[in-house]
Amino acid sequence: MKCVATLMTALLILAGSASPASAASPADVKAAIAKGASFLRVVAGKSHGGEKTLVALALLKSGAAPDSPEIREALDEVLKKFGDGKYQAGGHHIYEAGVEATLLTDLDAERYKPQIQLLADYIVGQQKNTGGWDYPSGHPADSPGDTSVIQYALLGLWAAERAGVKVNPLVWQRTLEWHAQYQSKDGGFAYIPGFQIGDGQGNSTLNMSVNAVGSMHRDRRDRRGQGGAGRSCRRARRLTPSGRASARRGARRARPPAAARRRPRPGGSPTATPRRR
């Protein structure tokens, strides 16, 4: 699944825009997207679960028709997980739920809102007391959260909100606080903070740091005025190294001039506080 996820990420970036600073021409970008989409159409027939959904989402972003065979097959597989008002999670748990919510929202948010609501309920229900998410069994069981899983959880909730599903602001607040608490001293993020597991063996990695930055950006969007979530957003920002530096600069700028700090003399103009002898 990692291979497909990597290709999908590249395809989405290419489909998004061609930066003027890039050496590739618009024609080159379109050719690369077409080549990647051709590969994914072959992969789609051999994949299942979250991987199949991820392939369908990439194809949709590349310009494939919503009723194309690959997307239709993935959609049918996703919809089979719903029945009697319940959602049956797949083997890749939060990873699958996140991409399924995104695919359903991008295909037809109004039509599939009941399913998106169930996906959001499942994701929220899996949030740990720490504010993060992890494999259902944990790895290890006392893990505070998995930076990678958290990213997919928030992608799913972000999609759910775009579909009009209400997400409790406390969910976002707790996630922001997780990132503030478990950020590494070097400013980056580890795969599973505090544990020598997986890539980086407990140290910050570029991949996990990018995941975390994206997660915090989604958390902070449009939440500055939302009560506790907005305050938590600002508090979490202050807890990061860059936030602390920004706060110090702001405090210096806000410091009143010397004249304003002088105590006024009764009935007269301000004067400097006399020194004690």
pLDDT digits (tens, 9 = 90+) for 177-228: 999 999 999 999 989 888 888 887 868 888 888 888 888 887 665 455 444 4
pTM of the model: 0.74
Phi-psi region of 271 (alpha: psi -120 to 50; beta: other; left: phi over 0): beta
- Residue 263 is predicted with a pLDDT of 53
- For 107, phi then psi, to 5°, come to -75, -55
Q: How far apart are CA 12 and CA 8, in angstroms?
A: 6
- Residue 273 is predicted with a pLDDT of 47
- Residue 116 is predicted with a pLDDT of 98
Structure tokens given for 276: 């004690």
Question: Nearest 5°: CA angle at 61, between 94 and 77?
Answer: 50
The predicted-structure confidence for 216-261, as pLDDT tens digits, reads as follows: 887 665 455 444 444 444 444 454 444 544 445 554 554 555 554 4
- Residue 136 is predicted with a pLDDT of 87
Cis status of the peptide bond prior to 140, with omega within 30 of 0: yes
Distances (CA, A) of 163 to 118, 229, 247: 12, 20, 36
The residues, ordered by sequence, that sit 6+ positions from 44 with a Cβ below 8 Å of its Cβ are 52, 55, 56, 59, 70, 73, 74
pLDDT band with cut points at 50, 70 and 90 for residue 164: very high
The predicted-structure confidence for 43-90, as pLDDT tens digits, reads as follows: 898 898 999 999 999 999 999 999 999 999 999 999 999 999 999 999
Distances (CA, A) of 236 to 83, 115, 183, 194, 239: 39, 32, 11, 19, 5
- Residue 257 is predicted with a pLDDT of 53
Question: Nearest 5°: CA angle at 93, between 91 and 99?
Answer: 110
- For 208, phi then psi, to 5°, come to -70, -35
